[in-house]
Amino acid sequence: MPTEIYKSAVVELIDGTELYITPLKIKFLKLFLDEFENVKLATNDDEAIDALAKCTVIAMRQYYPLIRTQEELEDNIDMPTIYRILDFAAGIKINEKAEETVKKQATESGSTWDDLDLAELESEVFLLGIWKDYEELESSMSMPEIIATLKIKRDLDYSQKKFLAAMQGVDLDKANNNNSNAWEEMKARVFSKGKANDPNDITALQGYNAQKAGFGIGMGLDYEDLTQK
């Protein structure tokens, strides 16, 4: 079976119109999550359900723009279908037959801004140079797509670093298992022509070698902690 980046579903409106539901694109997810805060503030299930309906109206901007108001939503979609849409759109799982309240089910299963640093994730993906601006990125990518893209990007970056380390006789995987910052040690040896075994040795980070590396004293030294991989 092919690997899935995300799960999708086909749901039907009351008139039989079929909608293909996938995770919300970031553009709509941001609006959705802002409205979802009202679910958390609800004092009873009626208020929670009303807020979830408003969230679904926002989701319709992606799936079926003809539905623009809560009244139009209620005329075209029943509650079981709304709950199904919420599940595939934003991971909000609600079981009408469960003993727990709708609010409790929704708030304990849905995403929040506390779960992610969206600006940082978007910035890293944007560096791929595919989109002309962030608005275009947010209109074309969902959260699962961003995460999958970043995983591949980081895996490729690590593979390149692993190859360069192997050329210097360093097993980066083994070094990381031993909690050693092998990437920094390898850079130090390369740019000091083997004279520096300590990544903090100043001879590895100055002069012409530092210019070739693109970092050094006064040049914005930066690094990636590969032990967190």
Establish if 30 belongs to a structural domain: yes
Same domain membership, residue 166 and residue 105: no
Establish if 4 belongs to a structural domain: no
pLDDT above 70 for 168: yes
Task: Print the domain residue range for 194.
Answer: 118-228
Nearest alpha-carbon partner for 173 in 191, 156, 161: 161
Residue 116: its pLDDT value, please? 63
- Band (pLDDT 50/70/90 cuts) for residue 151 is confident
Q: What percent of the chain has pLDDT over 70?
A: 71
Whether the Cβ atoms of residue 88 and residue 23 lie closer than 8 Å to each other: yes
Q: Running DSSP on this structure, what letter comes out for residue 113?
A: G
Q: Kindly give, in sequence order, each residue whose CB lies less than 8 Å from that of residue 213, ignoring residues fewer than 6 positions away.
A: 187, 191, 205
pTM above 0.75, yes or no: no
Same domain membership, residue 185 and residue 156: yes
Of 115, 144, 163, the last residue of a domain is: 115
Same domain membership, residue 63 and residue 83: yes
Same domain membership, residue 99 and residue 27: yes
Same domain membership, residue 17 and residue 81: yes
Of 115, 137, 159, the last residue of a domain is: 115
What pLDDT digit, counting tens, does each position of 174-229 carry? 766 554 455 455 445 544 444 455 545 444 444 444 444 444 444 444 444 444 44
Of 63, 95, 115, the last residue of a domain is: 115
Establish if 3 belongs to a structural domain: no
User: Crossing angle of helices 26-41/143-167, nearest 10°?
Assistant: 120
CA distance 99 to 59: 27
Please calculate the CA angle 173-178-183 and round it to the nearest 5 degrees.
55
Same domain membership, residue 134 and residue 204: yes
CA distance 100 to 104: 6
